[in-house]
Structure 1
Amino acid sequence: MAQKRYYQKVIRTANKEKDCLRTAINSFPKITAEDIYMTLPEERRALINPIKRPDDEFVRDWLSEEYVHKGFKEGMPYFETMNGERVRSKAEQIIADHLKHAGIPYKYEYPMMINGELIHPDFKILRLSDRKEIYLEHCGREDKPSYYDDMVTRINNYAMNGIIIGDNLYLLFETHNAPLDVRVLDKMIEEQFR
């Protein structure tokens, strides 16, 4: 009996909350403050510095930044993405093509300094929902001890410089016997990169 009364109170309160939310949604303006810029004529927009730049402009400028790619040694295999860029492995080609297909802006091997050393994370990604830059590393040779040791050092260096797994660093793993699982990649894209 006490449980039933409790449930009835919870339902009444939840219904009041639902009504309040419905009222708030119905009174929300059809055009948000961020959208006003796009309602202006193009000539007027040219004179204005918007509070929040439209996503397409932001992405275009982010992608247009030029940078020096890490070089390729002669004789290395050649893998080309749908974007026409050369990558180091078939798995990186798959990753790049999945990101492109999903509309996720990325930069391949964008250089950065960590502890005074120039490194090139596999993918620097722009998560458009919050305009946060995140990194994706493909750990593709985890069955080789020296590669594994180097990757652990790299991930620790990332962490010491504010690039934290699950926040702004994501990892995909692969070994000789366990190839890249694109289902994991697609789940990351849907749940973390949008």
Structure 2
Amino acid sequence: MQCRKVRGTYQYFINDKYVGKRKEWSKIKELARAEYRSKLRVLLEKELKYLKRILETEIQISALYYKLYEGKRILIEPDILPVSEKIKRFEQEEYQGLPFDENDKTEFYTNRGERVRSKSEKIIADELNRLGIPYRYEKPLKLIADGRIKEFYPDFTAMNISTGELKYVEHLGMLDSPVYFKNTLSKLDVYEKNDLLIGRDVILIHESSYRPLNTRVIANYINEFFM
């Protein structure tokens, strides 16, 4: 189909024969869509081949470390660590979490047997576990605050299973408490001053006395940031 602009009006031709818009408008639109999709398909096929080459290269890079004899692997730190190795090291890393107050009589345990501080945190932990997301509970994180290096304890440190990227999940459970809200803002301010941005590096899952935890929202966050 050809298209020309005559006196400010578009005219359409099929095989050099003029086609009236009133009678053949649906046919004209379909031919235009077909031309667009045909050209788009060519570009997408080229892009797909390019992406396949990138993926094959990434697979080869990841496999390179494991192709080495084990006795040699233990001697080196790979420049590019495969995601599977990142996950393994992340899950095996030992750390001292934030201790529980001896007067705290509440006991909530995840399906993995970890003690957490609330029923909502148990729900979040179990959902991460159900979807196969590597996570650690209250793993210490060193950040600069008030000009000094201090240890903070994000509720969850979790790893994206595709990229190996770490993100921090904070459960905000008492937003209708003015004191809690003020302390939360202070903590979020520290994150941002350390270039850990809310919604990119720090994921907030919130609730209050009038807005309970939504498990569907938790799953949506996990699918968006950790899959």
What is the TM-score of this pair, normalised by structure 1?
0.84
Aligned twin of 2:96: 68
- Unmatched tracts of structure 1, length 5 or more: none
Aligned twin of 1:109: 138
Aligned twin of 1:163: 196
CA contact (8 A) 1:70 1:120 kept: yes
1:22 deviates by: 6.0
Rounded Cα–Cα distance in structure 2 between residues aligned with 1:139 and 1:102: 22
Does the C-alpha gap of structure 1 residues 19 and 95 become closer, same or farther in structure 2, counting only changes over 3 Å? Answer: closer
Mapped pair 1:12 → 2:38: yes
Greater relative contact order structure (CA < 8 Å, 6+ sep): 1
Does the C-alpha gap of structure 1 residues 102 and 9 become closer, same or farther in structure 2, counting only changes over 3 Å? Answer: same
1:28 deviates by: 8.3
Does the C-alpha gap of structure 1 residues 151 and 184 become closer, same or farther in structure 2, counting only changes over 3 Å? Answer: same
Rounded Cα–Cα distance in structure 2 between residues aligned with 1:112 and 1:26: 37
1:12 deviates by: 3.3
Superposed CA deviations along residues 101-150 of structure 1, whole A, max 9, x for unmatched, are 11111111111233133221101111132211110000001111100011
Rounded Cα–Cα distance in structure 2 between residues aligned with 1:28 and 1:157: 37
Rounded Cα–Cα distance in structure 2 between residues aligned with 1:141 and 1:29: 44
Secondary structure, aligned partner of 1:75: coil
Rounded Cα–Cα distance in structure 1 between residues aligned with 2:183 and 2:171: 13
Superposed CA deviations along residues 60-84 of structure 1, whole A, max 9, x for unmatched, are 2112211111111123211111222
- Unmatched tracts of structure 2, length 5 or more: 1-10, 13-27
1:55 deviates by: 3.6
Q: What letter matches 1:17 in structure 2? A: L
Secondary structure, aligned partner of 2:69: helix
Does the C-alpha gap of structure 1 residues 22 and 169 become closer, same or farther in structure 2, counting only changes over 3 Å? Answer: closer
1:46 deviates by: 4.1
1:23 deviates by: 5.6
Mapped pair 1:47 → 2:67: no
How many residue pairs get matched?
A: 192
Rounded Cα–Cα distance in structure 2 between residues aligned with 1:110 and 1:29: 32
Aligned twin of 2:214: 181
Q: What letter matches 2:86 in structure 1? A: F
Which range moved further: 136-145 or 103-112? 103-112
1:167 deviates by: 0.9
Q: CA RMSD in A?
A: 2.8
Aligned twin of 2:17: none
Normalized per residue, the structure richer in strand is: 2
CA contact (8 A) 1:34 1:51 kept: no
1:58 deviates by: 2.4
CA contact (8 A) 1:67 1:110 kept: yes
